[in-house]
Amino acid sequence: MDPDLYRLLLGLVADVTPVVQALPPSAAVADVSGSVRFFDRDPAELARMIRARALALYGLPVAIGVGPNWTVAAMASREPGRGGVRAVGSSPEAVAAFLHPRPVGELHGIGSAQERTLTTYGVHTIGLLANLPEATVQRVLGGKASRLLRDRARGIDRRRVVPVKLPHSAAAQRRFPPTPWLRSWCAPRCCRWRSSSASGCARAGRRRKP
């Protein structure tokens, strides 16, 4: 997306929480734990507020997933529904109900080779991966990747937000294909979003017609 518009969107999220980590070319993650009390709104309400502001200011629809960590929130954003926001509760039961029925290939961060290996062994869902003994997953996938993916299948993601500003040079030197959606992830403790704008929104202040 246009680098200037991307910066404006980072600023829009920064108006909700100062703890924002830019993930160029079109993503960011933010810790919203302090914003819940400040705005007196829960994470889903903050997500709807971000979505409304992006639409009002820049004419961009925003798909937002709300969950207790990066993995759950990122996956929830793939199915935001008509309102543009999908919220997953933070309880272990809510996380398991959301993750476990899904195909293992939908697990956030899994590679195609890892997916093929797991399905070869009959592990077709995230729930099956979550319930395998750690030693079994290590034998099948090997190394740290096995532990990481098993943790994510169980709804565990220990990544923390480290505020990082968008590098000027990286933004200026890269061009990205236009797409019609702005995608975003928001979680009770961290908010992760990925954005991309249509060509009609390449300039700040110009709205894309629906």
Whether residues 137 and 38 fall in one domain: no
62-65-69 Cα angle (round to 5): 140
> Residue 175: pLDDT band by 50, 70, 90 thresholds?
very low
Whether residues 74 and 18 fall in one domain: yes
**CB-facing half-sphere around the CA of 85: CA atoms within 13 A:** 17
The domain total for the chain is 2
Considering the entire predicted model, what is its pTM?
Answer: 0.80
Whether residues 27 and 44 fall in one domain: yes
* Contact between 99 and 75 (Cβ < 8 Å): yes
Whether residues 141 and 176 fall in one domain: no
Arithmetic mean of pLDDT over the chain: 80
Whether residues 192 and 122 fall in one domain: no
Q: Is the dihedral of CA 73, 77, 79, 81 positive or negative?
A: positive
pLDDT of res. 185: 57
pLDDT of res. 170: 40
Alpha-carbon span 156 to 138, nearest angstrom: 17
Whether residues 29 and 129 fall in one domain: no
Whether residues 18 and 63 fall in one domain: yes
The CATH code of the domain that includes 166 is 3.30.70
Whether residues 165 and 147 fall in one domain: no
Instruction: Give the mean pLDDT of 184-196.
Output: 54
pLDDT of res. 200: 25
The CATH code of the domain that includes 144 is 1.10.150.20
Is the pLDDT assigned to residue 131 strictly greater than 80? yes
Taking phi over 0 as left and psi of -120 to 50 as alpha, with beta for the rest, 59 belongs to left
> Residue 210: pLDDT band by 50, 70, 90 thresholds?
very low
Whether residues 7 and 85 fall in one domain: yes
* Contact between 124 and 103 (Cβ < 8 Å): yes
Amino acid (one-letter) located at 44: A
Give the alpha-carbon dihedral of 6, 8, 13, 18, to 10 degrees: 110
Whether residues 9 and 43 fall in one domain: yes
Does residue 207 lie in a domain region?
Answer: no
- b/e 150-186 (16+ beta carbons within 10 angstroms → b): bbbbbbbbeeebeeeebeeeebeeeeeeeeebbbbbb
Instruction: Give the mean pLDDT of 22-41.
Output: 82
Instruction: Give the mean pLDDT of 16-32.
Output: 79
Strand, coil or helix: 62: strand
Domain that holds residue 106: 100-153
> Residue 70: pLDDT band by 50, 70, 90 thresholds?
confident
